[in-house]
Amino acid sequence: MAKRQFAVTVAGGGSTFTPGIALMLLKERDRFPIRKIMFYDNDAERQEIVAKACEIYLRENAPEIEFGYTTDPETAFTDIDFVLAHIRVGKYAMREKDEKIPMKYGVVGQETCGPGGIAYGMRSIGGVIEILDYMEKYSPNAWMLNYSNPAAIVAEATRRLRPNSKILNICDMPIDLEEKMANMVGLKSRKEMQVGYYGLNHFGWWHKIYDKDGNDLMPEIKKHVAENGFADGIAETNQHVDDSWKETFRKARDVYAVDPSTIPNTYLKYYLYPDYVVEHTDPNHTRANEVMEGREKQVFGACRDIIAKGTAKDGGFEADAHATYIVDLACAIAENTQERFLLIVPNEGAVENFDRTAMVEIPCIVGSNGYERIAQGAIPQFQKSLMEQQVGVEKLVVEAWIEGSYQKMWQALTLSKIVPSARVAKLILDDLIEANKGYWPELK
């Protein structure tokens, strides 16, 4: 019997990741057959550049796949099986403000952590919910695989506002870090490891790592991380290659030192070493500038080149090898593979001694009926206390968005571990409100 063929909508068609994802989908067609790819974005001009180049590539390499791009929700979301969502509400111009405004007050400015992440969250909630609603209206049986950031806040918002929707929130940071750890112990792939992990998104720890025979890999991995973090002596993956990322991988050594019984997610550096991060950040040239000068320029340059030549035959495009986890996830749903993934899901007791309503990042088994949590037991005092503070921030942001509450936003910023006081929180908040006019709900 011929395998079922799937229709996929990429939401955030103008994203720098879209060409890599489209090529990856083509490459993986044997296990995940595609009949239609549709791009959707609310910025027609930006999307058109990416879409026209992908159209040429697809015509040359897979003419049998139906392809289209649109800003019209009905066209985008009708007759589809999956939505792959990676939108950035406000684009890099707003990411730059998220990073630079806190820095004015000597506070870490980061895409997903602290005030920057809070500001981005207030912009993203509406955008992601809107796409979810379009999907449910036009293709009620479809699934949304969401990796739009800030995933922690977005996930909490979907839990509160759309608790029964078919959405899986996932992050790629653990994927890259697990590849690096597999490499440290001489395994070919992270898929040869089975892990225990708990935390919030961009805020978690590995507490168990075994190989396929059940051997404990933690001692050898810890030895490497204690000396080099996630850097040095291991092969580079094809993602997170800029110098600032290498620095983050090295800094994981100091993050690890705070609790050598677990292996930390790299994002914890912003919470445990904020002073160091601020000292090592140029307030006039942040990660957003690096990305605009690097990845954005490169991807859009390649697209324009393909369009000008009318062919994609001379290269310029590359499949995003590491994004195959998205196809793994789609296959798990489509074919009931019961594969394990780290997902961001309501806790419901999986982390025994932690808020049942928190959106936690934990291993889950995924099949055609969705996910089942794998219980992680009780967690240590240190992690539990950090997570309680951080989950409070995330919940307050979502409440502030729903209620339009200035007070709750001020509390969220004040609670954030990397904001030193309520006074600084208010100064940052007032600047962020000004910068986010038209993106945030009005706060009273």
User: Which residues are identified as catalytic?
Assistant: 172, 267
Binders of ligand NAD among 399-438, rule CB under 6 A?
none
Residue 320, contacted partner among ligand NAD, Mn ion, ligand G6P, none, CB below 5-8 A by kind: none
Query: Which one of Mn ion, ligand G6P, ligand NAD, none interacts with residue 408, CB within 5 to 8 A by kind?
Result: none
Which one of residues 16, 110, 390, 416 is an interface residue with ligand NAD (CB under 6 A)?
A: 16
CB 134 within 8 A of CB 73: yes
Q: Which does 287 bind (CB under 5 to 8 A by kind): ligand G6P, ligand NAD, Mn ion, none?
A: ligand G6P
Does 149 engage in binding with ligand NAD (CB under 6 A)? yes
Among 55, 172, 179, 328, binds ligand G6P (CB under 6 A): 172
Stretch that binds ligand NAD, among 88-96, 159-167, 307-315, 415-423 (CB under 6 A): 88-96
For the bound state, the minimum distance from the C-beta of residue 231 to ligand NAD, rounded and expressed in Å, comes to 20
Is residue 92 involved in binding ligand NAD (CB under 6 A)? Answer: yes
Interface with ligand G6P, residue 171, by CB under 6 A = yes
- Does the footprint of ligand G6P cover residue 173 (CB under 6 A)? yes
| Residue 151 found at the interface with ligand NAD (CB under 6 A) | yes
Of the candidate spans 81-89, 101-109, 303-311, 434-442, the one that interacts with ligand NAD by CB under 6 A turns out to be 81-89
- Decide if 414 contacts 427 (C-beta within 8 A): no
Cβ contact 131:82 at 8 Å: no
Q: Is 72 in the site for ligand NAD (CB under 6 A)?
A: no
**Site membership for ligand NAD, residue 43 (CB under 6 A):** yes
CA distances from 285 to 281, 290, 296, 404 (A): 8, 7, 16, 32
88, interface contact from Mn ion, ligand G6P, ligand NAD, none, CB < 5-8 Å by kind: ligand NAD
Q: Which residues are within 8 A (CB) of 75 and not within 5 positions of it... i.e. 6 or more apart?
A: 38, 68
For ligand G6P, which is the closer residue by CB, 133 or 290?
290
134 interacts with, out of ligand G6P, ligand NAD, Mn ion, none, CB within 5 to 8 A per kind: none
**149 near ligand G6P, judged by CB under 6 A:** yes
Does 172 participate in binding ligand NAD (rule CB under 6 A)?
A: yes
Label the pairing between strands 82-85 and 66-70. Answer: unpaired
Closest CB to ligand NAD among residues 92, 210: 92
Enumerate residues 261-320 that contact ligand G6P by CB under 6 A: 287, 291
Interface with Mn ion (CB under 5 A), residue from 171, 331, 344, 398: 171
Rounded to 5 degrees, φ, ψ at 257 are -60, -25
User: Does the footprint of ligand G6P cover residue 55 (CB under 6 A)?
Assistant: no
Closer of 82 and 267 to ligand G6P (Cβ) = 267
Binding mask 273-312 for ligand NAD (x = CB under 6 A): ----------------------------------------
10 binds ligand NAD (CB under 6 A): no
- Alpha-carbon span 322 to 9, nearest angstrom: 19
Smallest separation (angstroms) from ligand G6P to the CB of 111: 6
What is the number of the residue whose Cβ is closest to ligand G6P?
A: 173
Is residue 173 a contact residue for Mn ion (CB under 5 A)? yes
351: β partners: 377
Q: Which parts of this chain interact with ligand G6P (CB under 6 A)?
A: 111, 149, 171-173, 287, 291
Q: Which residues bind Mn ion (CB under 5 A)?
A: 171, 173
